[in-house]
């Protein structure tokens, strides 16, 4: 009995809300008509000509018998909705929101049919989400800030269907600007990850305005260092410590794994660069005979693994690994996973674009830990001045990237 009573109350409330919305919509349209006749038709003999009825699906439910005023000359058009619109746009917004969250077009169509009794095919859902394609093009061409303290680079693979289904890379560039705000600068879908692919990404960032960069953070993909330095010759390179540790781990015997990993941590947890080099020498003496290749690899890469010591200690957590962009890539992968084999590149672009816009909005007013410190700000500003404002400085990157076309 309680459930029946509760359901009855809910139905009553829903009906009251719909009636209220209907009343307000009709009031607005009548005011529109009065304004139209008074201000736009004052020199004509045009007058009201009754009403016509129509239905409109709203977030409050379907409103039947909505009284839309009309004039004798048929020139009045309400601004409340388009002439052939049957919804107020909320469901389309919900479709895009669900798609952004990682639901497939088929899942969205099934959900809408179950919840709202509306017949939405996967094709219809896809057509609705296609409204963002023009936004993607504009977003990918938007101007960037001139200066970025840090640029993170990372790529993930997803399955795309062209003639066959194959894994292709999504390149993502993330920046931290001079105010300490993190943002996705751009993404690029297609092909296999390579230094040449990243070279095109970096050229695009440069041509869109990101001319001055202090530090690039990424893994040790062959040729990526050179590609980065071609575009930003005055920037430093920081290879991700986490990647290096992860790559070393499987090469160490089981009985030594914990001890070797703990010893390697003493290198990048040292108080300063001198103590870090000293810690490495101690690790090399201890493990060099048993793991000569691994120690040689660390020694060769040590300069770019310890670059972060040149920068303020307050921002170490943000620059000595690529953890921040890796977390972002996991979120993107999570949204792509329900798609299984994506139908085409545009579907992947829509998902990554919607995620990126949402990400940038969330982070636009958040300052990365350490970047708000006044001493840190001054240190970074001095580094920009030393590299990019001294008289003898030539224009960074112009010989290789100026006037290059943007990434397709």
Residue 374 in 3-state DSSP? helix
> Is residue 280 within 8 Å of 248, Cβ to Cβ?
no
Characterize the bridge pairing of strands 182-189 and 236-239: unpaired
Reduced to 3 states, what is the DSSP secondary structure of residue 85?
Answer: coil
Residue 244: how many CA atoms within 13 Å on its side-chain side?
A: 27
Q: Where are the domains of the chain?
A: 2-82, 91-131, 137-401
Query: Which pLDDT belongs to residue 113?
Result: 61
pLDDT of residue 407: 36
Query: Which residues does the chain have with pLDDT short of 50?
Result: 84, 87-88, 395-408
The pTM for the full model equals 0.69
Give residue 33's pLDDT. Answer: 86
pLDDT of residue 118: 57
Mark out the alpha helices in 130-256 (DSSP H runs): 133-140, 195-207, 224-231, 241-248
- How confident is the model at residue 286, as a pLDDT? 96
CA Rg, the chain, in Å?
A: 29
Q: CB–CB of 63/18 below 8 Å?
A: yes
CB-based burial of residue 357 (10 Å sphere; 0-12 exposed, 13-18 middle, 19+ buried)?
Answer: middle
């Amino acid at each position: 009995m309680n459930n029946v009573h509760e359901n009855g109350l809910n139905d009553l409330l829903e009906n009251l809300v719909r009636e209220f919305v209907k009343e307000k919509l009709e009031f607005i349209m009548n005011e529109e008509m009065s304004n139209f006749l008074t201000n736009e038709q004052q020199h004509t003999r045009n007058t009201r000509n009754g009403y016509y009825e129509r239905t409109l699906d709203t977030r409050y439910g379907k409103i039947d018998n909505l009284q839309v005023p009309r004039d004798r000359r048929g020139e009045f058009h309400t601004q409340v909705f388009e002439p052939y619109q049957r919804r107020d746009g909320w469901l389309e917004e919900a479709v895009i929101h669900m798609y952004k969250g990682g639901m497939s077009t088929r899942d969205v169509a099934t959900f809408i049919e179950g919840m709202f009794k509306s017949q939405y095919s996967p094709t219809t859902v896809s057509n609705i989400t296609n409204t963002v394609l023009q936004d993607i093009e504009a977003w990918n061409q938007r101007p960037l800030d001139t200066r970025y303290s840090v640029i993170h680079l990372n790529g993930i693979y997803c399955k795309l269907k062209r003639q066959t289904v194959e894994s292709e890379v999504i390149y993502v560039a993330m920046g931290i600007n001079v105010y300490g705000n993190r943002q996705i600068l751009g993404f690029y879908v297609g092909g296999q990850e390579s230094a040449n692919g990243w070279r095109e990404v970096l050229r695009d960032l440069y041509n869109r305005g990101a001319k001055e960069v202090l530090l690039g953070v990424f893994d040790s993909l062959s040729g990526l260092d050179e590609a980065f330095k071609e575009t930003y010759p005055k920037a430093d390179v920081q290879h991700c410590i986490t990647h290096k540790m992860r790559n070393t781990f499987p090469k160490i015997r089981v009985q030594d794994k914990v001890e070797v990993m703990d010893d390697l941590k003493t290198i990048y947890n040292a108080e300063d660069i001198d103590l870090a080099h000293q810690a490495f020498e101690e690790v090399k003496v201890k493990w060099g005979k048993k793991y000569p290749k691994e120690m040689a690899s660390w020694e060769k890469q040590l300069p770019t693994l310890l670059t972060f010591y040149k920068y303020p200690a307050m921002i170490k957590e943000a620059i000595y690994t690529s953890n921040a962009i890796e977390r972002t890539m996991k979120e993107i992968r999570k949204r792509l996973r329900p798609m299984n084999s994506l139908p085409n590149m545009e579907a992947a672009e829509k998902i990554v674009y919607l995620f990126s816009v949402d990400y940038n909005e969330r982070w636009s007013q958040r300052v990365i830990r350490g970047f708000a410190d006044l001493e840190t700000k001054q240190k970074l500003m001095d580094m920009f001045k030393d590299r990019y404002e001294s008289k003898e400085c030539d224009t960074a990157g112009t010989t290789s990237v100026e006037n290059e076309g943007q990434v397709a």
